[in-house]
Amino acid sequence: MKKPLLAALGALMITGTGLAAPAVAATETKTATSTPAVSESAAGEPAAIQAVTFAGTVSLSNCSGSVVRFPDSEDDDPALVMSNGHCLETGFPAAGEVIVDQASTRTFGLLNSAGTRVATLRASKIAYATMTDTDVSLYQLTTTYGAIRSSYGISPLTLNDTHPVAGTAITVVSGYWKRTYACNVDGFAYRLKEGAWTWKDSVRYTSACQTIGGTSGSPVIDNATGNVVAVNNTGNEDGGRCTDNNPCEVDENGTVTVRAGINYGQETYQIPACFGLDSKLDLNASGCTLPKP
């Protein structure tokens, strides 16, 4: 996994390498619009794209995240924040563990388009979290989408409900570091194995997205639509084979491939089918394929 910040700083203290301290990170910060991504149409002409900014992203105590909605969400629905399962305040879920409707009062720093923190949002519960098949956490907040928009002028990011496409221009937007990473979807890993955990159909980035610890949970945004297609979660740091911080790809035949320095996200298109009215989780809903407790 892309280490939560506290774990990464611990490694830095022990080894003298790794993630930069927060005071240094300020020198690395750039706005999402400083180097706009450009996509092309099938005819080779530049395609119209949405400006990718920090609006709707959040900073956690140790990770990144975003306020997300589903295609059918309404303004009076309780708002949700998405991050990684490995970013939970209670620690990493075990392989096979699924957390549902667990009380939480965790807070999140809401960012505007420029990356300025404009509010503190609070959770009422962890609606769903797991590191099995995927690596995701969804917190339900004490406020609604409409209230956030009315108070701060910030709309949630929409989760796309269709499978991402190879070659798509994407931006990983880290609310923790207030930094963006632009690249493309390189392809998909049938299985991505890291230590005790295995994830299905993971998004592989091209090498330009050199994400670091603290970017865990960042939304992966399709530049052309502005919609979220994945949640950033890991990368092979040292060329290791299927170990912690060194995930490996396993294909349908069991062949293992190690891609040193390459980073990954977990698809999110399957999530909307599991939530209904009022942001209520229903793991038995038609089309819902998320793991159950």
pLDDT at 238: 95
- pLDDT band for 32, please (50, 70, 90 cuts): very low
Name the architecture of domain 5-18+160-267. Beta Barrel (2.40)
Pair type for strands 64-69 and 157-158: parallel
pLDDT at 22: 25
pLDDT at 123: 98
pLDDT at 5: 56
pLDDT at 26 over 80: no
pLDDT at 264 over 50: yes
Return the CATH class of domain 57-157: mainly beta
pLDDT at 145: 98
Please indicate whether the domains covering 5-18+160-267 and 57-157 agree at the CATH topology level: yes
- Tokens 């942001």 correspond to what residue? 279
pLDDT at 40 over 90: no
What whole-number distance in Å separates Cα of residue 63 and Cα of residue 140?
Answer: 17
Q: What is the pLDDT of residues 113-141, one digit of tens each?
A: 999 999 999 999 999 999 999 999 999 99
Q: Which residues are registered as beta bridge partners of 133?
A: 199
What whole-number distance in Å separates Cα of residue 252 and Cα of residue 264?
Answer: 18
Residue 161 CB partners (closer than 8 Å, separation 6+) = 70, 71, 269, 272, 273
- Range with lowest mean pLDDT among 30-39, 79-88, 219-228: 30-39
pLDDT above 70: percentage of residues in the chain: 84
pLDDT at 30 over 90: no
Average pLDDT over residues 224-253: 97
- pLDDT band for 276, please (50, 70, 90 cuts): very high
What whole-number distance in Å separates Cα of residue 260 and Cα of residue 238?
Answer: 6
Among 71, 105, 112, CA closest to 89: 105
Average pLDDT over residues 263-286: 97
pLDDT at 14 over 90: no
Domain boundaries along the sequence of the chain? 5-18+160-267, 57-157
Is residue 63 within 8 A of residue 4, CB to CB? The reply is: yes
The pTM of the full predicted model, rounded to 2 decimals, is 0.86
Tokens read off for 88: 């939970």
Q: What is the pLDDT of residues 137-179, one digit of tens each?
A: 999 999 999 999 999 999 999 999 999 999 999 999 999 999 9
How many residues are given for the chain? 293
- pLDDT band for 3, please (50, 70, 90 cuts): low
- Of residues 49 and 135, the one with the higher pLDDT is 135
pLDDT at 17 over 80: no
pLDDT at 24 over 50: no
What whole-number distance in Å separates Cα of residue 220 and Cα of residue 230?
Answer: 5
pLDDT at 136: 98
